[in-house]
Amino acid sequence: MKQMLVKTSTHDYPIYIGKSLRFKLNELIKESYTKVLIITDDVVADLYLDDVRNSLEHFPVIEAVVPSGEASKSIKEYYRLQTVALKNHMDRRSLIIALGGGVVGDLAGFVAATFMRGIDYMQMPTTILAHDSSVGGKVAINHELGKNMIGAFYPPKAVVYDIDTIRSLPDHEIRSGFAEIVKEAYIANKPLLEELLHKKLTDISEEELIRYLYEGISVKKKIVEEDEKESHVRKFLNFGHTLAHALEAILGYGTITHGEAVAIGMLFALRVSEHYTDHDLHTERYKKWLDRNGYPCSLYGISHDDIIEKMKLDKKAANEQIQMVLLKAIGKPEIFDFTDETIEKHLQAFAKELNEA
Ligand SMILES: NC(=O)c1ccc[n+]([C@@H]2O[C@H](COP(=O)([O-])OP(=O)(O)OC[C@H]3O[C@@H](n4cnc5c(N)ncnc54)[C@H](O)[C@@H]3O)[C@@H](O)[C@H]2O)c1
Ligand SMILES: [Zn+2]
């Protein structure tokens, strides 16, 4: 088992990464809790809920299952979970366990952040993408006017990452998660990037996977420790996300996964970056890697005006300009502001590259 400790302004929390950890919760949870509420989705419940419940024999356990998918990050599910917690007499000394991907982690984390003004919660990520979402304490639900618009910074008490659970993920979820690891490598770990760009996702061994997750989480840990509330360096984690959020919002969540959208967004950000640096950003190698691993690479026929409008709505945009994270070099991210006209020019060139102009 690998382990690290994340420091926050309120407390430090451990991250455990290893095999079969879902059977060892009794050892990993040191505190005594009056009740434990496991929140999961219906896909993960069928696969792992029994294992998790059975390893919590010292605690009274309650379970709540939400439908799998982004739509569960809603005020409706949020309210229903608060009702479950209240009806089961949970109190300020109870624990919530978020068992699942980023959807469950964000939702359960926000329930924990607000139930009786905040109770302990633990993240048990079961997707590769959730190596990112389970660390850093951002929790949220969606508003119909925007994604993650209702939320908090509320760090977990622990992250328990049983990497055996990743084996049941479908290919597009593996691609989705790996895009975020490549992102972390691009902004802060060049050797990791060079290694990853040689790899085919279907040929990665278990030891390699654990190491990649560990290195990706290490990048995230370092950044969130330096900037917990996203006032400066934490924005670098949005590399590739400006275009990605626009594509996701227009296509509707679910057409492509978050990470697949980020993968396209990073290719765009690399092309734009090339105008501002002479350093080699491995863009061609990255593009080949996307192809080799079956990432969709398209703007889906969406008009550039629509993309630009959504890019401006992205909550990271300042003073009406579009904000993007670019790379001065691999491992050297920087924030740039753009006018609509400049972005339009870059989008045109990008569409041409994708044979969509
Ligand atoms: N809080 C943050 O810092 C942060 C960062 C990045 C993303 N996010 C959020 O994370 C969410 C995306 O997370 P995600 O990609 O994990 O999505 P997800 O939670 O929807 O999981 C993806 C799919 O995989 C299924 N699944 C989960 N674990 C499985 C397993 N072990 N085997 C088989 N199927 C499994 C789920 O049921 C779902 O259908 C988005 O809502 C995004 O906003 C949050
Ligand atoms: Zn992301």
- 182-195 b/e with 16+ CB inside 10 Å = b? bbbbbbbbeebbee
Separation of 324 CA from ligand 2 center, angstroms?
A: 14
Does 277 have pLDDT greater than 80?
Answer: yes
- Closest residue by Cα to atom 5, ligand 1, is 133
| pLDDT tens sequence across 279-299 | 999 999 999 999 999 999 999
Separation of 141 CA from ligand 2 center, angstroms?
A: 15
Handedness of CA 194, 197, 200, 205 (dihedral sign): positive
Contacts of 45 (CB under 8 A, 6+ apart): 63, 65
pLDDT of residue 317: 59
Of ligand 1's listed atoms, the one at least distance from the Cα of 43 is 37
Q: Is the CB of 134 within 6 Å of ligand 1?
A: no
Q: Is the CB of 137 within 6 Å of ligand 1?
A: no
Residue 162 Cα to chain centre, angstroms: 17
The mean predicted confidence, pLDDT, of the chain is 96
The first and second tokens of residue 357, run together, are: 């102009």
- Domain spans, the chain: 2-168, 171-353
pLDDT of residue 270: 98
| pLDDT tens sequence across 144-170 | 888 899 999 999 999 999 999 999 999
Coil vs helix vs strand at 261: helix
Task: Identify the DSSP state of 114.
Answer: H
Of ligand 1's listed atoms, the one at least distance from the Cα of 138 is 1
pLDDT of residue 146: 80
Cα–Cα distances in Å, from 209 out to 3, 177, 258, 330? 15, 11, 20, 22
The first and second tokens of residue 196, run together, are: 């990853």
- 224-261 b/e with 16+ CB inside 10 Å = b? bbebbebeebbbbbbbbbbbbbbbbbbeebeebbbbbb
| Residue range 171-353 in CATH 1.20.1090.10 | yes
Q: Is the CB of 296 within 6 Å of ligand 1?
A: no
* Region 2-168: CATH code: 3.40.50.1970
| pLDDT tens sequence across 62-108 | 999 999 999 999 999 999 999 999 999 999 999 999 999 999 999 99
Q: Is the CB of 128 within 6 Å of ligand 1?
A: no
Separation of 21 CA from ligand 2 center, angstroms?
A: 25
Q: Residue 253: what are its φ and ψ, rounded to 5°?
A: -65, 135
Percent of the chain surpassing pLDDT 70: 99
pLDDT of residue 314: 74
On the 0-12 / 13-18 / 19+ scale of CB atoms within 10 A, 216 is buried
Cα–Cα distances in Å, from 181 out to 48, 118, 135, 196? 24, 30, 13, 9
Catalytic residues, which ones?
117, 138, 180, 220, 230, 234, 238, 241, 245, 258
Q: 196-205, long-range: CB within 8 Å, 24+ apart, which pairs?
A: 196/289, 197/282, 197/285, 197/286, 197/289, 200/292, 200/293, 201/171, 201/174, 201/175, 201/293
- Closest residue by Cα to atom 19, ligand 1, is 101
Does 316 have pLDDT greater than 80?
Answer: no
On the 0-12 / 13-18 / 19+ scale of CB atoms within 10 A, 104 is buried
Question: CB 309: neighbour CB atoms within 10 A?
Answer: 14
Is-contact 286 197, C-beta < 8 A? Answer: yes
Q: Is the CB of 168 within 6 Å of ligand 1?
A: yes
Q: Is the CB of 152 within 6 Å of ligand 1?
A: no
Q: Which of 106, 148, 316 to mutate to test the pocket of ligand 1 (most atoms within 8 A of CB)?
A: 106
Whole-number Å distance between alpha carbons of 169 and 166: 6
- Closest residue by Cα to atom 18, ligand 1, is 101
Q: Which of 6, 73, 129, 247 to mutate to test the pocket of ligand 1 (most atoms within 8 A of CB)?
A: 129
Separation of 200 CA from ligand 1 center, angstroms?
A: 22
Q: Is the CB of 169 within 6 Å of ligand 1?
A: yes
Higher pLDDT, 97 or 58: 97
Does 357 have pLDDT greater than 80?
Answer: no
- Closest residue by Cα to atom 21, ligand 1, is 101
Does 315 have pLDDT greater than 70?
Answer: no
In terms of Cα–Cα distance, which of 220, 61, 252 is closest to 129?
220
Of ligand 1's listed atoms, the one at least distance from the Cα of 177 is 15
Does 171-353 match 2-168 at the fold level?
A: no
Higher pLDDT, 121 or 254: 121
Coil vs helix vs strand at 123: strand
Whole-number Å distance between alpha carbons of 324 and 270: 11
Read off the amino acid at residue 309: E
Does 356 have pLDDT greater than 90?
Answer: no
| Degrees to nearest 5, angle at CA 254 with 250 and 255 | 65
Is-contact 255 234, C-beta < 8 A? Answer: no
* Ligand nearest to the Cα of 217, by number: 1
Contacts of 219 (CB under 8 A, 6+ apart): 184, 185, 187, 188, 189
Q: What's the pTM?
A: 0.96
Q: Is the CB of 71 within 6 Å of ligand 1?
A: no
Helical spans, DSSP H, in the chain: 25-28, 42-44, 50-54, 75-87, 102-114, 130-133, 171-188, 190-196, 206-226, 241-251, 258-273, 283-292, 304-313, 340-353
